[in-house]
Structure 1
Amino acid sequence: MPISQQSGFISSIRARGAVAGALCATALFIAGCQSQPEFRPLTSEAPPPPTFVTVPAEEACQPAQARYALGRSLDPLLLEEMRARTGSTSARTSPAGTPLPTPADPARLNVDVDPQGLVVAARCG
């Protein structure tokens, strides 16, 4: 066998070996990707699940329903009636023109009262 034919034979064997090795590596890689993850039960180290806060709808407080009380003298019964008619969860009074303290509660009725004790405005927040 001439030397040129022998070197071609050896290089074809090497090429076949390289192709076979690449195929084996690819098969092992694909098999590794398809393996199932190990089962790990929850432990005390797991963070607690998230909690969701229910925000009242804008309709929870309807200050327009308190218009009947404008100009009337405020007393506890009128304040409670205003709270009930507006659908608010709570009510409070403040002097007219006073800014609302933070944090504002959209379900709370704020009734503004003038120095004579008359209702001059009602708003939510």
Structure 2
Amino acid sequence: MTRLVIPALLLSLSLAACAPEPDEQTEATEQSQAAAAEVAQPASEEPLAPPPAEGSCDDTQAQWAVGKKATEADLEQARNDAKAQTVRVLKPGQAVTMEFDGNRLNVDEDEQGVVTAVRCG
């Protein structure tokens, strides 16, 4: 019988040595619960758009031009409002380069010269 008691005693002592202290276990549980609660927070209803990079075009400031027959003065005002360095007027069927330029305001016009869209690029 002592043959069984000694190995059982050694096994239980070695397992007890590996178990974390109660305070350590409580702290780990609390940290896990706090992290889970943080992740479970509902996302805001509206995703936050990243702010425009410094010095780059912001087409939201030139949307007032949509629906207007843009004059040179309107195009210049839209460029200034969008904080763009350049403005490019795009007419239907016009061939254009496809490179993106974050400091350029693109103004799409229809056949009558009415602005249909304003966007950066």
Q: TM-score, normalization: structure 2?
A: 0.51
Compared with structure 1, are the counterparts of its residues 98 and 122 closer, same or farther at alpha carbon in structure 2 (3 Å cutoff)? farther
Q: How do 1:100-115 residues align onto structure 2 when only pairs under 5 Å count?
A: 101-115=97-111
Tell me the alpha carbon deviations over residues 48-76 of structure 1, each in whole angstroms, 9 at most, x when there is no partner.
xxxxxxxx927611111111111101111
Structure 1, unpaired ranges of 5+: 1-55
Range moving further from structure 2, 84-93 or 102-111: 102-111
Distance of 2:96 and 2:120 partners within structure 1 = 10
Q: Aligned pair in 2 of structure 1 residues 100, 86: CA closer, same or farther (>3 Å)? A: same
Partner of 1:79: 75
% identity of equivalent residues: 39
Would the alpha carbon gap of residues 70 and 87 (structure 1) be closer, same or farther in structure 2, given more than 3 Å must change?
same
CA distance in 2, matches of 1:96, 1:66: 20
Gaps of 5+ in 2: 1-51
Q: Does the alignment pair 1:122 with 2:114?
A: no
- What whole-Å deviation, never above 9, does each CA across 1:2-59 have from its counterpart, x for those lacking one? xxxxxxxxxxxxxxxxxxxxxxxxxxxxxxxxxxxxxxxxxxxxxxxxxxxxxx9276
* Residue 121 (structure 1) shift: 0.3
Match of 1:62 in 2: 58
> SS of the counterpart of 2:64?
helix
The answer on whether the counterparts of 1:74 and 1:117 sit within 8 Å (CA) in structure 2 is: yes
After the TM superposition, list the runs of 4 or more consecutive aligned residues in structure 1 that deviate by more than 6 angstroms: none
Amino acid at match of 1:88: A
Is the radius of gyration larger for structure 1 or structure 2?
A: 1
Say whether 1:91 aligns with 2:111. Answer: no
Q: Residue 90 of structure 2: SS of its match in structure 1?
A: strand
Amino acid at match of 1:123: R
| Matched residue count | 70
